[in-house]
């Protein structure tokens, strides 16, 4: 491979802002794996956000990219998996598997797509210093004949349309809106874009915690909601506390600490079968490797209000943010019924735009 921009390249990043800023280039925020694709003739390499290659996990996408991208190019975009007319991040996570036979099977049963939103190189020319508005024109021209599963991300300079996308596209599993300076060159690894994400709140039961990697202080709180049968289901974690607050939480939660899992609603997590979906605390993970995922059980008697952006199935898609304790709430009142559901929106309508 011999391209004007060579792997690895760290993608340009975004920082969170509260509102969609005016006078920008706007795109939807995709909920998938960020990927930079390098193609030089028959050679295709898919680089992840960390720089590690994703190529072996998506053989069907390698074939499609070879067929649908220009012969020599570098594109920035997102790998996604869709089910039932919306993005499915859980299905995408399953694609990262060490066994080649499993990779091949999943390539057939849950094929991935690639949504391109930037062009870093074309032919023998690097576009890294080219303004975004010109890179976007080059991208749409280069991918004008591309077809499923390779797409060009919809984009606009109309803030009213971007605000409509922010409301509508969540129903298709998208994650918000990205705003970019149209005059800016490509800045690898720098947070020079803006991301605007949905934020909602929920009252959750605190049923345990995980220790912080730095020592015997709280790293994250394990959150639960009751389903329609009254069972407490794990829905995610909240974290990102200052160190002093982590120490304070150890003291605050000590009276609720249980000596063992006996009597805890998640006591069956000690069995291997309970971890079949690899989403419970303590479950093995292909992403965390040898990271300690053990947790400390608490009597599920305390309620916390957390902020979250959206759900992925029956769990919070991202780490929730602590807002306040709710001593006025009973744990049994913390149910899925309180969660806001976005209006469904067909992903085909997004990609067709």
Q: Which residue out of 15, 19, 29, 52 is catalytically annotated?
A: 29
Are the C-beta atoms of 26 and 155 separated by less than 8 Å?
A: yes
Question: Is-catalytic flag, 180?
Answer: no
Give the CA dihedral 104, 110, 196, 204, nearest 10 degrees.
Answer: -110
Q: How many residues does the chain have?
A: 353
Q: Which of 307, 341, 320 is nearest to 234 (CA)?
A: 320
Cα pseudo-dihedral 329, 330, 336, 340, rounded to 10: -10
CA–CA gap between residue 299 and residue 52 (Å, rounded): 41
In angstroms, rounded to a whole number, what is the distance separating the alpha carbons of residues 166 and 310? 13
State residue 275 phi and psi, 5-degree precision: -100, 20
The two tokens of residue 165 are 């996308």
Neighbouring CB atoms inside 10 A of 244's CB total 9
Torsions phi, psi of 2, nearest 5? -140, 90
Q: Which two tokens stand for residue 7?
A: 């792997």
In angstroms, the CA 46 to CA 48 distance is 7
- CA–CA distance, 56 with 108 (Å, rounded to integer): 14
To 5 degrees, how large is the angle CA 76–CA 78–CA 81?
155
Known catalytic residues are 29
């Amino acid at each position: 491979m011999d391209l004007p921009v060579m792997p690895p390249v760290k993608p340009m990043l975004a920082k969170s802002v509260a509102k969609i800023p005016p006078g920008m280039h706007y795109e939807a925020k995709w909920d998938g794996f960020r990927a930079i694709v390098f193609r030089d003739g028959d050679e295709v390499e898919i680089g992840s956000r960390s720089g590690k290659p994703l190529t072996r996990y998506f053989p069907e996408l390698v074939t499609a990219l070879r067929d649908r991208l220009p012969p020599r190019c570098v594109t920035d975009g997102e790998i996604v998996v869709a089910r039932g007319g919306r993005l499915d991040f859980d299905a995408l996570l399953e694609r990262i598997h060490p066994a080649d036979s499993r990779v091949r099977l999943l390539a057939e049963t849950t094929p991935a797509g690639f949504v391109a939103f930037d062009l870093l190189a074309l032919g023998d020319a690097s576009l890294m210093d080219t303004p975004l508005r010109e890179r976007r024109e080059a991208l749409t021209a280069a991918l004008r004949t591309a077809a499923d599963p390779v797409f060009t991300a919809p984009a606009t300079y109309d803030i009213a349309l971007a605000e409509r996308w922010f409301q509508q596209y969540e129903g298709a599993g998208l994650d918000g809106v990205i705003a970019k300076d149209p005059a800016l060159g490509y800045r690898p690894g720098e947070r020079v874009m803006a991301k605007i994400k949905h934020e909602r709140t929920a009252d959750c039961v605190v049923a345990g915690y995980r220790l912080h990697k730095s020592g015997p202080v709280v790293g994250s709180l394990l959150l639960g909601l009751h389903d329609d049968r009254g069972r407490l289901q794990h829905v995610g974690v909240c974290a990102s506390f200052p160190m002093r607050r982590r120490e304070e939480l150890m003291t605050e939660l000590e009276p609720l600490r249980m000596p063992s899992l006996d009597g805890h609603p998640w006591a069956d997590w000690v069995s291997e079968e309970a971890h079949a979906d690899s989403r419970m605390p303590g479950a093995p993970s292909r992403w965390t490797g040898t990271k300690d995922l053990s947790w400390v059980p608490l009597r599920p008697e305390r309620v916390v209000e957390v902020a979250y952006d959206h759900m992925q199935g029956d769990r919070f898609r991202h780490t929730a943010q602590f807002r306040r304790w709710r001593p006025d709430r009973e744990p049994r009142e913390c149910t899925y019924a309180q969660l806001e559901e976005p209006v469904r929106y067909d992903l085909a309508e997004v990609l067709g735009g």
